[in-house]
Amino acid sequence: MAGMDSGFAVYAPHPVERHAPVAVVVAEATGDDVPVLAVLQARARGGSAGEWADRIHRARRGERSLVVAAKVSGEAVGYANVAFLPEHPVDRAPAGYYLTGVTVDPAWRRRGIARLLTRRRMDWVWERDSAIRCFVSVRNPASLDLHRELGFGHERTGASFQGIEFAGGEGRLLRADPPRS
């Protein structure tokens, strides 16, 4: 993989133009959702829709993984994954549940959809485990902001986590624990 820096949205922490909120339904992705999600991912990250469809199907079939889709009026406009990953033998990223990506169609960004997709995955993990991790390129401040706002803290910095290398050489391993009642 070429690195984790391709396909990021333009960073705008306080955009002048913020789109109106919409009614979004976030639910587990179905097999029927996969072709649309694959096209969305290919547009955002490159590669072929067929390649992405295979990856999404595999993620959906994983025993300890979840793929969720965000829909507006029945149309898939975003999706995200979470999966249990073993400790990595090289970079020593610990075993556990990892948020492994979120993609929102550019036409639907800045409406809180990534936040909804992330919260849904966090709730799912906390039904199974007490910690959630993710890794984010330092070149993706929008994702760093989102995760910080949702309770993720910095665990460590590295050139790779779970075998994924970061273009520019620096990523952050983040962790969130369930809120205390």
Interval 126-143: pLDDT, tens: 999 999 999 999 998 989
Q: Report the predicted TM-score, pTM, of the whole model to 2 decimal places.
A: 0.85
Handedness of CA 54, 108, 132, 26 (dihedral sign): negative
Looking at domain 25-131, its CATH architecture is 3-Layer(aba) Sandwich (3.40)
Q: For residue 121, count CB atoms less than 10 angstroms from its CB and return exposed for 0-12, middle for 13-18, buried for 19 or more.
A: buried
User: How confident is the model at residue 101, as a pLDDT?
Assistant: 85
Over residues 73-96, the pLDDT tens digits come to 999 999 999 999 999 999 999 999
The string of DSSP letters for 75-103 reads: EEEEEEEEEEEPPPTTT-PPSEEEEEEEE
DSSP 163: T
Q: How do the domains of the chain map onto residue ranges? A: 25-131
- C-alpha to C-alpha distances, 60 to 115, 136, 162, nearest whole angstrom: 21, 22, 19
- C-alpha to C-alpha distances, 16 to 13, 47, 139, 142, 176, nearest whole angstrom: 10, 32, 22, 15, 30
Q: Which residues contact 28 (CB under 8 A, 6 or more apart)?
A: 66, 67, 68, 69
Banded pLDDT at 5 (limits 50, 70, 90): very low
| Residue whose token pair is 């966090």 | 122
